[in-house]
Amino acid sequence: MQHTKYLILGAGISGLAFAYEQRSDDYLILEKETVPGGLCRSFYAPGFVWDVAGHFFHFHSDQTKAFVKQMLDGVELCNVTKCAKVFYADRYLNAPFQYNIHQLPHDEFMQCLTDLYFANGLDDAPSFKSFVRQKFGAGISDKFLIPYNEKLYACDLDELERDSMGKFLPKLTFDMLMTFYHGQKGTTYNDFFLYPRQGTMQLVNSYLNHLDTSRIHLGESVSAIDTDAKTVTTSQGTYSYDHLVSTIPLNRFIDFAHCGDSSLLHSNKIVVLNLGFDLPSRDKEVNWVYFPGDEIFYRVGFYNNIAPRPNLSLYVEIGCRSDEQVDIDRLIRQTLVDLKRVRITDDHQLVSHHAIVVEPAYVHITGQSKAETQRVIDAMRQRDVHMVGRYARWEYSAIDDSIEQAQQLAQTLSPTSR
Ligand SMILES: Cc1cc2nc3c(=O)[nH]c(=O)nc-3n(C[C@H](O)[C@H](O)[C@H](O)COP(=O)(O)OP(=O)(O)OC[C@H]3O[C@@H](n4cnc5c(N)ncnc54)[C@H](O)[C@@H]3O)c2cc1C
């Protein structure tokens, strides 16, 4: 049986970042796919570069930003000032919706404003749905926040914890509303972002350049974990470890290690359609659009306006329940109809496409999932098992969080880490 000091489950950005940070040569990464990168992979077709939906680099810390820029030294980067819209009642408004309600028809603006004024603003809401009503009022909630997020999460928002979206839900104050009303720009977490011209995979490749790729076993799916014996079994064999670092979804980990109740962890799944067309984009500025209405998609992004390309190149995100049967051909047909309806396409012909199902995509954070997640993470830490990344920690987080979690864990486990 092969023994390793650091056994890492998953070669997404979290697993690669930890392997890079821990610095020793004594590590092994087990990855079920035949390509590393997880959700940060890119896909290439003639004339088009696509990701698993847009994967852009925005940062909460200047230190992490400087680190990523250094990792991407020599890679062509697009520096983008965000332009996002909402398609509401057949018109395009600026996003976030809650900051731009003055762009609604006058009576709807007044309704949102009045409801916001009388929203009770308390902090005792039992669910995400009641939380947004409490904070933003019924107008903003019922016109955008609730229908949009129900399409995305594919569940009743009463099932989710009040703080499900955490830092990703732009907070609203009257000062902020006035700033936007007067045409000035306020701030949200991703007003500016970086994007490698050849796709997010460039960051994955930068990590791979620093790693010994013979220590990354691709196409090797983990199927059992024994935290007493400190072993992991895959489709190819059994490995023993000193420290186990898991980046695979927590519900799967729980089943493999028999260490909790995975039925308490729910999520949606999403279908991402990457679509390439034969004509240029009608819109030359917008980066992505949110759709709270009856269109099949909840968000459409324009690669061609982020890393300029001659022709329209879109990612389309469709939220589904985890138990839903997915018929990709039907989704593409309906998407093409709806893209025309919302005036993103007119005479455009689809010349290239690619579909990915992501599961889990957005985890459903509930009281029970939070308690079980915390219990498992704490219990596993006592056994030298550590969770890194959005799905291993069953949370709503981003690439910069993965990198920071990997850095912190490496510093804790290995005093000689970077
Ligand atoms: C639609 C969408 C858009 C997003 N956009 C952004 C964005 O713009 N910016 C941003 O910063 N973040 C974004 N994110 C979040 C970002 O994708 C994640 O935070 C990050 O990629 C998580 O990386 P990870 O390595 O933890 O997980 P993953 O990328 O999921 O990697 C886990 C790896 O484990 C492997 N694995 C799973 N099971 C097994 C098994 N049994 N055996 C072996 N290997 C296994 C998987 O194949 C995968 O490679 C987005 C997420 C989604 C869903």
SS (H, E, C) 36-95: CEHHHCEEEECCEEEECCCCCECCCCHHHHHHHHHHCCCCCEEEEECCEEEEECCEEEEC
Closest atom of ligand 1 relative to the 13 alpha carbon: 25
- Asked if residue 228 has pLDDT above 90, the reply is yes
Q: Where, residue-wise, is CATH 1.10.3110 in the chain?
A: 84-189
Q: 3-state DSSP call for residue 106?
A: helix
pLDDT in tens, 359-390: 999 999 999 999 999 999 999 999 999 999 99
60-69, 111-120, 205-214, 260-269: which range is least confident on average? 111-120
Which residue's structure tokens are 């390309």? 309
Which of 55, 204, 223 most suits a substitution to test ligand 1, by most atoms within 8 Å of the C-beta?
A: 55
- Tell me where in the chain the CATH 3.50.50.60 domain(s) lie: 2-44+197-261+366-413
Residue 374, C-beta contacts closer than 8 angstroms, at least 6 positions apart: none
DSSP symbols for 154-221: -S-GGGS-TTTTGGGS----HHHHHHHHTT-----TTSEEEEETT-THHHHHHHHHHS-GGGEETT--
What H or E segment, with its residue span, contains residue 114?
helix 106-118
301 CB within 6 A, ligand 1: no
Contact 58, 193 (CB under 8 A): yes
330 CA from centroid of ligand 1 (Å): 26
Instruction: Single out the residue of 377, 399, 398, 397 nearest to residue 386, CA to CA.
Output: 377
Res 415: pLDDT: 72
Residue 178: predicted pLDDT: 82
Going by alpha carbons, the residue nearest to atom 26 of ligand 1 is: 389
Q: Is residue 144 over pLDDT 90? A: yes
Superfamily of domain 2-44+197-261+366-413 in the CATH hierarchy:
FAD/NAD(P)-binding domain (3.50.50.60)
Percentage of the residues of the chain whose pLDDT score is greater than 90: 87
Spatial neighbors of 34 by CB under 8 A, at least 6 apart, are 218, 219
CATH class given for the domain over 84-189: mainly alpha
pLDDT of res. 23? 85
What is the rounded distance in angstroms from the CA atom of residue 68 to the CA atom of residue 196? 11
Q: Give the ligand 1 atom nearest the CA of 40.
A: 21
Query: Ligand 1: does its nearest atom lie under 6 Å from the Cβ of 54?
Result: yes
pTM of structure: 0.95
315 Cβ below 6 A of ligand 1:
no
Q: What is the pLDDT of residues 252-305, one digit of tens each?
A: 999 999 999 999 999 999 999 999 999 999 999 999 999 999 999 999 999 999
Q: Using CA positions, which residue lies closest to atom 35 of ligand 1?
A: 10
What's the Cα-to-Cα distance from 244 to each of 20, 24, 252, rounded to whole Å? 15, 15, 15
Q: Is the CB of 29 under 6 A from ligand 1?
A: no
Determine contact, residues 74/328, Cβ cutoff 8 Å. Answer: no
Written as six digits, the tokens of 180 are 């936007």
CA nearest ligand 1 atom 38, residue: 248
Q: How far apart are CA 287 and CA 53, in angstroms?
A: 12
Is the pLDDT at 170 greater than 80, yes or no? no
The verdict on the CB of residue 399 being under 6 Å from ligand 1 is yes
Instruction: Determine the Cα–Cα distance for residues 196 and 203; give it in Å rounded to an integer.
Output: 8
Pocket of ligand 1 contains residue 222 by CB under 6 Å? yes
Segment 298-337, tens digit of pLDDT = 999 999 999 999 999 999 999 999 999 999 999 999 999 9
E strand or H helix at 226 = strand 222-226
**Residue (of 300, 308, 309, 306) closest to 345 by Cα position:** 300
Q: What integer pLDDT is reported at residue 163 of this predicted model?
A: 83
Q: How far is the CA of 32 from the centre of ligand 1 (A)?
A: 13
Mean pLDDT of 230-242: 96
